[in-house]
Each structure stands twice: as C-alpha cells, then as structure tokens.
Amino acid sequence: MTVTEAVREQRERDARGGSDPDDERGDGDDPRGPDPSKPVRRAFGVVSRRPVLLFAFALAAAVVAVADVARILDPVGNATPNVVGGGLSFSFLAYPSGTRVTMVTPGALVGLQPWWLLATVVLGAVGPLAAGVATTWTVARAAKREVTVDRVLATTTYVAAVAAAWHASVWLVEAFPAAVAPLLLVGLWLSARLFPAPALAALDRSPLDAASEAYALTRGRAFGCFLSVLGAGTFGAILADAGSVAAISPSDPLFALGTALSYTFAGAIGAVAATIYAVEAREERDRRSEERDRRSEERGQWREGRADDGKRRNGN
C-alpha cells in the first residue's frame, strides 16, 4: 500500500462514517491548514510494512560514514562530540542536511593549505548530496512516483540549503554565543513549518516552491508538526546516542555506527512522514477547495432558485 492509497482508503472510511454536514462546512471554512494526523507514527507503520524504504538512507549512511572516516583521518580540525564514555554526546544532527559525526568550524579553515581546503569542501558536500538523493528515492517509492534528475536536483538543492543554513547557524553561535537561544527558537519553528518541504521538492516542486507550499500546508498546525519533528528527532537521537555511550573516544567507530543507524532509520522515517503529511495535506486542501466550490455553486443555485421562485410568485 502506498501513501497515496492509504490516504484514499482513509477518505473512504471517513465517507462511510458519514460526517456531520455542519462539521464539513466548518472544515471547509477553517482558516487553518489541513491536519494530517500523526505522520511520524504512521511512517513507522509504513516503513515496517515496506522495509525497502530504508534502503536509500542505509546506502547514504554508508557513503556518509566513509566520508566521515576520511574527515576524521585528514589533518583538518574536527568538531566532534564532547563527552564520551558513559556520558551523552552533544553532537547535533539535522535532517535532511546530511550532517554527520564530523563537522568543520571556521577556525579549522584558518591557516589551512589550499589542497586540504578543497578536500574539506568536497567531503563536506557528500552529506547533503547523499541525503538529497536518498530523500528523493524514498519519497518517490513511498508515493509511487518516478525518480527523475530534476527531482533529485530540486531535493538536493533544498537539502544543501538546509545544510548551509545549519552550518551558518553553528558558526554564528560560535562567534556570538548569545545568539543560541533565538536561533534555536527560530530553527525549531522553521523545522515545524517546513516539515513537509523535502517531500514536496521530491514530488514535484522547486526548492523555493516546496518551502512556500510547506509553509502554507502547515499553517495553524505548527505545534502538531513540531511534535512530529520532536518525535523523529528523539528517535534519531536515541539511535545516535546508543553508540556514543559505549564509545571510548570521538574517533571511535561506535560513533559512526550510531550516526549511521540514526541516519538510516530517522532519515527514512522522516522522509516517509513528510511524504504522508505532504500527500494528505494536499488531498485535504484540494478536497476543501472542491467543497468550497461545490457549496458556492449550491448557494448560487439556491439563490437562483429563490430568485426564480420569487419571480414566479411575483408573476402569479
């Protein structure tokens, strides 16, 4: 069962249940965006029934792990988790930016020889590239769409933009530690409002249009989307921390293992959840639009009927 089929089935169930016409009327006029409920929870169900959806992010995790090892072994300064050996790591992960164990800070670039600068940039691009391709494939499989070069480019561009914003935020906080609180709030808010954007980019939108449509589809539903972000994030954090707790040092392979697990599962769950939200929200939006059109038409016909009745009465 694809996500689209699941949505149709849900609609049919709703229709059979016979909803209150007043509610329908109210829903059609609801200023809030549509409300596809619990996308993360349902994404778990979809992925458990179709584990093939994990494939792309598993492959991406492997590619990113290789890039991580290369970054760990190169002489360029590395921002790695702080506490190991029975503690919690304080690394940050951002889906779908392709962020991984290693991360370069501006200070690590100061005084760097040009060759290593180039190598750092190239290795840094591996994460967003892998995440972009994996997101496109997973969304396409979940929604039974084709994977095209245009879709891959659009999604990867979006992912790269998220990664750039993420790195810029981290660098900004490093230069201005006081900026951490406002940036965190803005970041969480945007995470919620742009929740379905990668799926929209992978389906049929340009990166900018995807962000714009995602913003519209989550209007009035930011808290629900935030809970979805929190759910997927907590799941990814648990997986990433599972390895780091046992790791002896930040260079320990267990760190890479934890991150790869997180990347594979949280990435796939996140992509499927975004797809569910995007597809359902669009269906809901279209249904409401049709409903508004139908009611408008009915009102028009009713008014016309009243006018005809009046004419008839006046004529009589």
**Which residues ranging from 244 to 273 are in contact with other proteins (CB under 8 A)?**
244, 248-251, 262, 266, 270, 273
CB count within 10 Å of CB 307 equals 10
Whole-number Å distance between alpha carbons of 93 and 173: 16
In the complex, minimum distance from the CB of residue 56 to other proteins, in angstroms, rounded to a whole number: 16
Instruction: Give the H or E element holding residue 115.
Output: helix 114-142
Q: Are 155 and 201 in contact (CB under 8 A)?
A: yes
Under rule CB under 8 A, residue 232 binds other proteins? yes
Q: Are 60 and 138 in contact (CB under 8 A)?
A: no
Q: Are 169 and 183 in contact (CB under 8 A)?
A: yes
In the complex, minimum distance from the CB of residue 51 to other proteins, in angstroms, rounded to a whole number: 20
Please calculate the CA angle 166-164-89 and round it to the nearest 5 degrees.
Answer: 35
Nearer to other proteins, 28 or 187 (CB): 187
> Which residues within the stretch 78-107 sit at the binding site for other proteins (CB under 8 A)?
78-80, 82-83, 85, 87-97, 105-107
In the complex, minimum distance from the CB of residue 123 to other proteins, in angstroms, rounded to a whole number: 13
Under rule CB under 8 A, residue 47 binds other proteins? no
Under rule CB under 8 A, residue 223 binds other proteins? no
Whole-number Å distance between alpha carbons of 159 and 162: 5
Which listed range, 19-27, 28-36, 143-151, 195-203, lies at the site for other proteins (CB under 8 A)? Answer: 195-203
Under rule CB under 8 A, residue 208 binds other proteins? no
CB count within 10 Å of CB 170 equals 19
> Which residues within the stretch 151-170 sit at the binding site for other proteins (CB under 8 A)?
162, 165-166, 168
